[in-house]
Chain A
């Protein structure tokens, strides 16, 4: 395919066009997934709250996401007085670009990926850490005290949980000895317990798995960690001044990063595309992208479930959890893991 394009468009242009096509192939299904995650969220929350939820547009409400999109597009974009205009429009763009750019290195199966880079884990953490700019700038540019408070809360929270997340990933890197996602998944199918659910990283790294999962919720600013948009305290937090399409971009970015955190958790800890069943079970035992999708959907359901279940954390409790609980646990577990890996009890040799 790339050779064909390069033949007609020349070497460099063909290369660029090929990657552009690949980007579209990744982003379009992703956006569709995001659209239906919003619908699923409304329906599941409705179910958990013992009410109906969005079911008016189309059968069972399946066209609801498109109705929402149309509504967002035709709403007026209001710019607050004395807002810093350039930064005001830069913020939603930054947050969405960071959320989408991370997908460049996420593999869907050993053969199916946008790029396969050596420092994939590092790239994801680096781009992920840029996402906070979208929130802090949105909070500042709107020239509103509520949105500024939301931005400040989000900044402190995201920086705190990034550390715990980074240390949790260190354990994964220690086991696989690589920063490449495909190597990380493959390393989970080797070792003494190879070929079963037990050889996936979530068992030997259970504390880190839990910490990564919870930090992931905190990092995407979802309930119960959604103090930066706490409706009951600061109206709607950092995006209170946004309307129409820019607001839709914030929503899109939030759900894209939700899917991303789920996908990363699956790749790092839950064996990615590896099948939970033995190879001899026919089609169920095959390693395929379908397993990745199923696992991601289960984790996404979890995200919605937490939102319906847990009350919002108090701000000081969030800070305490990040710095005084998660960080020490991950640090200790890194030493435990190091000792385990060199001891005769190691399950990775």
Chain B
């Protein structure tokens, strides 16, 4: 067995174990961290396939941004584990049925289509990196789907802002930054002329 296959099995094993720990870890923060580990290992597997752009983007987007915000929220929330566990056995049969259905569907797809081996590697003959290649394909052949996807994302962005926007004027306090910056010493303090010494009335004696 060569080094590449050893690495593949190591990464896959860690991926599977950390995936399992995401749903079994008692502490929600630890669960989120195992999810991060799973993402990183998935990224390593992609890197081994030669898909460096996808692999690094997975880390940049999911690990670097999405999971950080996720962790942020999980840390701030006061999660009551007992309340979550309460309905576990009641909902278990339904979850089991759903899980089995999904498993069968996945197996059907995998078994029906024979596994195709594809090379994501950059073409050594032309020496074009696969980020370059991906860029060409996305902005020529698939330019309409890319535009469509970007519009959907933009819509999501606007909706997220619209949902959290509170219109009541009393609740929101705005600062006028240019007004803040435009202040000078005259508006902030005044000099008062006074004598250097004040005559002591002699009450202390």
Contact = CB atoms under 8 A, between A and B. Distances in A.
Contacts of A132: 64, 68
Contacts of B175: 316
B52 A130 contact: no
Contact of A84 (B27, B76, B130): B27
Interface in A132-158: 132-133, 136-137, 140, 148, 152, 155-156
Interface in A88-125: 117-119, 122-123, 125
Interface string B73-91: 0011000000000000000
Interface string B51-65: 011001101100111
B69 interface: yes
A130 B72 contact: no
A39 to B, nearest CB: 33
A136 B70 CA distance: 12
B64 A136 contact: no
A117 B52 contact: yes
A87 B63 CA distance: 17
Nearest to A135: B68
B12 interface: no
Contacts of B3: 12
B157 interface: no
A217 B177 CA distance: 22
Contacts of A205: none
B68 A119 contact: no
A129 interface: yes
A162 interface: yes
B131 interface: yes
Nearest to A152: B72
Interface residues of A, number: 30
A121 B176 CA distance: 38
B52 A159 contact: no
A155 B68 CA distance: 7
B38 interface: no
A22 interface: no
A87 B33 contact: yes
Interface in A300-349: 316, 320
Interface in A167-225: 178-180
Contacts of A155: 68, 72
A136 B53 contact: no
A129 B52 contact: no
A179 B128 CA distance: 11
Contacts of A119: 52-53, 56, 129, 131
A159 B72 CA distance: 12
Given A84-B27, A87-B33, A179-B131, A136 B68 contact: yes
Contacts of A320: 177
Given A118-B131, A123-B56, A148-B75, A84 B64 contact: no
A201 B60 CA distance: 25
B14 interface: no
A178 B53 CA distance: 13
A130 B69 contact: no
A34 to B, nearest CB: 24
Contacts of B131: 118-119, 122, 179
Contacts of A126: 56-57, 59-60, 63-64
A261 B64 CA distance: 18
A152 B74 CA distance: 12
B29 interface: yes
17 contacts: A84-B30, A87-B30, A118-B131, A122-B56, A122-B131, A125-B56, A125-B60, A126-B63, A126-B64, A128-B64, A129-B64, A130-B59, A137-B33, A155-B72, A159-B69, A179-B131, A320-B177
Interface of A: 12, 84, 87, 117-119, 122-123, 125-130, 132-133, 136-137, 140, 148, 152, 155-156, 159, 162, 178-180, 316, 320
Interface of B: 2-3, 27, 29-30, 33, 36, 52-53, 56-57, 59-60, 63-65, 68-69, 71-72, 75-76, 122, 129-132, 175, 177
